Structure 1
Amino acid sequence: MNQEILKLEPQLVWKNFSKLNAVPRPSKKEERVIQFMLDFGDSLELETFKDDVGNVIIRKPASPGMENRKMITLQSHLDMVHQKNSATDFDFDTQGIQMLIDDDWVRAKGTTLGADNGMGVAAIMSLLESSDISHPPLEALFTIDEETGMTGAQGLQANILKGKILLNLDTEEDDEIDIGCAGGVDITASRTYEQKEVLQNGSAYQIIIKGLQGGHSGMDIHKGFGNANKIMNRLLYTISNNYEIGIANINGGSLRNAIPRESVSTIVVNAAEKVSFEEKFRVWAGSIKEEYSFLEKNMTIELRDIILPKYVMEISAQQQLLKAIYAAHNGVYSMSAAIPDLVETSNNIARVEVGEGKVHVGCLTRSSVETSKIDLANSLKSAFELAGCEVNFSGEYPGWEPNPNSDILKVLKEQYSTLFKETPKVVACHAGLECGILGQHYPNIDMISFGPTIKGAHSPDERVSISSVKKFWKFLLEILKNTP
């Protein structure tokens, strides 16, 4: 544990964040962090239990004099996105996050930090543990598997929560109050293909794209960051239009909700064209790097000689795949007409796997408008079906419809203005918050979302602002004092 982090203010929050980050907590492998939270609640002698899907609920009575206030449900998710730099030696299944201080930021050493949503979890733990903070009756809801399907929120039973107000602590700009979010759907395209043996007169190469910023495929999708899968496909398409090549394999991206930072492919070119190919490749790669030079300063595109693979794709399947990925939309699809500067609909081509006769392409489509989400999903489905793929939709979750007349919104706006002498931004976000699902289970609960400033979520550049955590904590305490 980094002792310097324990000295940061508010110390109680940073202490609990450090304890949480010592527990491995990958999505769908939350057994250890679930037990950690159960032990935490039991150690405080609070009502603590786990529901049927693994969500943890802890309740704390009100401070003296606040017993007649409405119970507040404080909600954050336990799991975190696991991303690391290719050169970082780290095992997310067994190791705790290694943190460091960088000016006003806390970040991790070559991995995601887990501030998304660990800072929210740590703040809730601190409220439950405190003995000198005024608050109404509290109910903590720690959900599982938010990052890979929101199955914890989806599996929450409709009769468990008792709170009348829900504070979701899972947004990433401390001057924003969130009242809405996008829904999403996973789109998976798959097919098989015939392999053909590689002729011995070929030269084999590995193409490596890395060093991209990556980031959150919802919150960062409008920033124009490079998508390693699209850049790799662009290169392969260009090469195949100029040379007779065979693709042996492609491995790009990782998580559905992270903009792909790296991609690696293996190709075979006729040995007689080796010199010409290498010269043109440098030109093509240089043009792409120049095009992205403002946003992707650390991007590298490498070409390495390797030994010949045994098999490559049959040519017609190869052409179909390259055309389908080229045609498939990636990035912002439409902007909201109702809310200024809000991305309405987008897609992230998150994962491309090709090899051993199988193709797998995974996308995450988001939208705050259901019909637009389905429109883009059908567009992607059509592109991949034309390439001979079977396409499945899964993991669908609803958006959260904004309520500008929310009572708790009025409280947050008033308290923010009083504390910080400025007007907060009331927004909807393009991320997938659990509020949309929770609102279906509890349609009468008054929901709001806010949090400290976090940058680079879902990437190894993830970091949380130290001064912002202090601001967030101060804001949260005032909200608890002033709820009806």
Structure 2
Amino acid sequence: MNEHIDTLDPAILWRHFRTLCNIPRPSGHEAALVAYLIDWAEARGLAHDRDAFGNLRLRKPATPGHESAAGIVLQGHLDMVAQAASDSDHDFTRDSLDTYLEDGWLKARGTTLGADNGLGVAAALAVLEDDSLVHGPLEALFTLEEETSMGGALNLAENWLEGRYLLNLDSEDRGQVYIGCAGGADINVAHEFATSSLKDAEAELELTIGGLVGGHSGLDIHRGRGNANRLMSRALVALAEFKPRLVSWSGGTLRNALPREATVGVVIYDERVAAARQRLADFEAQIRDELRETDPDVSLSVTRGNAENALSVEDTQRLVAVLDAAPYGVERMSAAVEGVVETSNNLGVVQLREGRFHLCALVRSLRDDAVTMMEQRIRGLFALIGATTVAENAYPGWQPAPDAQLLARFCSLHESVTGRAPEIKVIHAGLECGILGAKYPQLEMISFGPLIRGAHSPSERVEVESVGEFWQVLKGLITELAEPAKAA
């Protein structure tokens, strides 16, 4: 499947990406891909090993005469975000991706493409395969479960990697190099509410907010796009005078993706259904006008349901109030790095079923103490309704080192290859570099990649031309680092 990918240039890289498109690899389901890579490495005579968590390392000795060069670690994650359009029946655990080319971009029909981080992995494999490339000692580190928990990086074995330089191939902007990133933590909130049967005069309405663009909860958090969970809490606030009782809530599927859809069941008295529908129609008109630039297809539909139990009016009011008051979106822009988000929160997943409530939010910040402060605010807010809050999967940020030798050599090489100097950036997303740097403080690190847009959403796409430039820069840098640095 996906034979058209083989027609793209550079063929050595795209051939590996086609393999990644054909092997299902959502987070937590990387085993088949790991087995394939081990077989591939053995067929090429490459050394391979795994740590206790299952992270995979492939190694290739230096080109003869370059054994004394500083070792390079090529790093990426094997898993991909599993997001599909509402009308897609794609099974990420079994089905290959269905890719296609359009106007110079590679996309997938109805699903995420997995260019994040499949193209970085493919590039590392292409480097290992290319015997014409002059290089020092090479390690390719492929981590697991980056998209769901950073589990691979957090559990990476210490005293395992041997290189001096780490090239993280997991950023998404052409002509840019990243030298710092946000840290973060998952914030999980849980509570169990009592429920009671519907009364004869009550009817259920099911509200669905959809048509949102979605996106990456770090890279796109500042773009003002709609968050289905936040919009739903506002819709329920608009219904407050009708004294609704919550039945259910299903909004978002991943804590690191902006939720594109949410469906809520509420019950109100029959005699007020018509008025409630009108209020919701007015609210839909309001948000369509509000989001016309960012989410032009946003919609709110209302259908009838057949619930048997619901929360009390009072518990509904309390839960809606705290969800509506919860911090979300950009909290603060960085004062140190112009134009970069410092701290944010994504209300990623909200679930309510048979009285059991669960929220999973993802807090990000360039400052680790700001992550803690945001977690404390959320904990305090939801304590007002008796809920339990737990912070999990915390990971540190990556502090910039603008004077590092690796960065200087990259910038010089980038300009010689492309004719322009790269932009030096700090990213509001959770690259694994912060975690890896804490475990291996001797590593100098940079992150770069091709142009990817719409990551973590079904609109994910990669600019084909940028992949060729990315490959030329990567090859050139590896050859450059095989030689000793020139004196300043």
Return the alpha-carbon distance in structure 2 between the equivalents of residues 476 and 66 of structure 1: 18
Return the alpha-carbon distance in structure 1 between the equivalents of residues 431 and 361 of structure 2: 18
Post-superposition shift, 1:59?
A: 0.6
Which residue is equivalent to 2:387?
A: 389
Return the alpha-carbon distance in structure 2 between the equivalents of residues 108 and 171 of structure 1: 19
What amino acid maps onto 1:337 in structure 2? A
Residue 428 in 1 paired to residue 436 in 2?
no
The correspondence of residues 172-183 of structure 1 with structure 2, limited to 5 A, is 172-183=172-183
| Cα offsets for 1:238-286 (capped at 9, x unmatched) | 102x212111101000101101000001111211112222222211111
Post-superposition shift, 1:67?
A: 2.4
What amino acid maps onto 2:89 in structure 1? D
Return the alpha-carbon distance in structure 2 between the equivalents of residues 275 and 234 of structure 1: 19
What amino acid maps onto 1:346 in structure 2? S
Which residue is equivalent to 1:28?
A: 28
What amino acid maps onto 1:266 in structure 2? G
Helix, strand or coil at the partner of 2:336: coil
Which residue is equivalent to 1:272?
A: 271
What amino acid maps onto 2:275 in structure 1? S
Which residue is equivalent to 1:95?
A: 95
Which residue is equivalent to 1:188?
A: 188
The correspondence of residues 406-417 of structure 1 with structure 2, limited to 5 A, is 406-417=404-415
Which residue is equivalent to 1:444?
A: 442
| Cα offsets for 1:115-141 (capped at 9, x unmatched) | 000000000111111222222221110
Post-superposition shift, 1:189?
A: 0.9
What amino acid maps onto 1:290 in structure 2? D
Helix, strand or coil at the partner of 2:173: coil
Post-superposition shift, 1:58?
A: 0.6
Alpha carbons 2:255, 2:360 under 8 Å: kept:
yes
Which residue is equivalent to 1:237?
A: 237
Helix, strand or coil at the partner of 2:222: helix
TM-score (normalised: structure 2):
0.97
Helix, strand or coil at the partner of 1:459: coil
Return the alpha-carbon distance in structure 2 between the equivalents of residues 2 and 161 of structure 1: 34
Alpha carbons 2:238, 2:280 under 8 Å: kept:
no
Post-superposition shift, 1:34?
A: 1.4
What amino acid maps onto 1:201 in structure 2? A
Which residue is equivalent to 2:149?
A: 149
Gaps of 5+ in 2: none
- What is the aligned counterpart of 2:469 among 468, 471, 482? 471
| Cα offsets for 1:14-43 (capped at 9, x unmatched) | 110001121111112221111122112111
Moved more, 271-280 or 48-57: 271-280
Alpha carbons 2:210, 2:262 under 8 Å: kept:
yes
Moved more, 429-438 or 36-45: 36-45
The correspondence of residues 11-50 of structure 1 with structure 2, limited to 5 A, is 11-50=11-50
Which residue is equivalent to 2:73?
A: 73
Post-superposition shift, 1:445?
A: 0.9
Return the alpha-carbon distance in structure 2 between the equivalents of residues 432 and 231 of structure 1: 26
Helix, strand or coil at the partner of 1:52: coil
Which residue is equivalent to 1:337?
A: 335
Helix, strand or coil at the partner of 1:180: strand
Moved more, 120-129 or 265-274: 265-274
Return the alpha-carbon distance in structure 2 between the equivalents of residues 356 and 230 of structure 1: 21
The correspondence of residues 248-259 of structure 1 with structure 2, limited to 5 A, is 248-259=247-258
Alpha carbons 2:183, 2:395 under 8 Å: kept:
yes
Return the alpha-carbon distance in structure 1 between the equivalents of residues 105 and 216 of structure 2: 18
Post-superposition shift, 1:63?
A: 2.1
Residue 318 in 1 paired to residue 316 in 2?
yes
Moved more, 146-155 or 250-259: 146-155
Helix, strand or coil at the partner of 2:473: helix
Return the alpha-carbon distance in structure 1 between the equivalents of residues 135 and 408 of structure 2: 18
Residue 122 in 1 paired to residue 122 in 2?
yes
What amino acid maps onto 2:284 in structure 1? A
Moved more, 173-182 or 19-28: 19-28
| Cα offsets for 1:137-157 (capped at 9, x unmatched) | 211101111111111111112
Post-superposition shift, 1:68?
A: 2.4
Return the alpha-carbon distance in structure 1 between the equivalents of residues 85 and 304 of structure 2: 23
Moved more, 253-262 or 30-39: 30-39
Alpha carbons 2:244, 2:316 under 8 Å: kept:
no
Return the alpha-carbon distance in structure 1 between the equivalents of residues 63 and 416 of structure 2: 23
What amino acid maps onto 2:130 in structure 1? S
Report the count of equivalent residues.
482
Return the alpha-carbon distance in structure 1 between the equivalents of residues 2 and 193 of structure 2: 50
Return the alpha-carbon distance in structure 2 between the equivalents of residues 329 and 62 of structure 1: 50
Return the alpha-carbon distance in structure 1 between the equivalents of residues 2 and 152 of structure 2: 31
Which residue is equivalent to 2:398?
A: 400
Return the alpha-carbon distance in structure 2 between the equivalents of residues 374 and 455 of structure 1: 30
Moved more, 277-286 or 171-180: 277-286
What amino acid maps onto 2:210 in structure 1? K
What amino acid maps onto 1:365 in structure 2? V
Alpha carbons 2:172, 2:449 under 8 Å: kept:
yes
Return the alpha-carbon distance in structure 2 between the equivalents of residues 246 and 372 of structure 1: 35
The correspondence of residues 159-178 of structure 1 with structure 2, limited to 5 A, is 159-178=159-178
Which residue is equivalent to 2:459?
A: 461
Question: RMSD across aligned C-alpha pairs, in angstroms?
Answer: 1.0
Which residue is equivalent to 1:263?
A: 262
What amino acid maps onto 1:40 in structure 2? W
Return the alpha-carbon distance in structure 2 between the equivalents of residues 293 and 133 of structure 1: 50
Post-superposition shift, 1:377?
A: 1.5
**Identical amino acids, percent of aligned pairs:** 39
Which residue is equivalent to 1:10?
A: 10
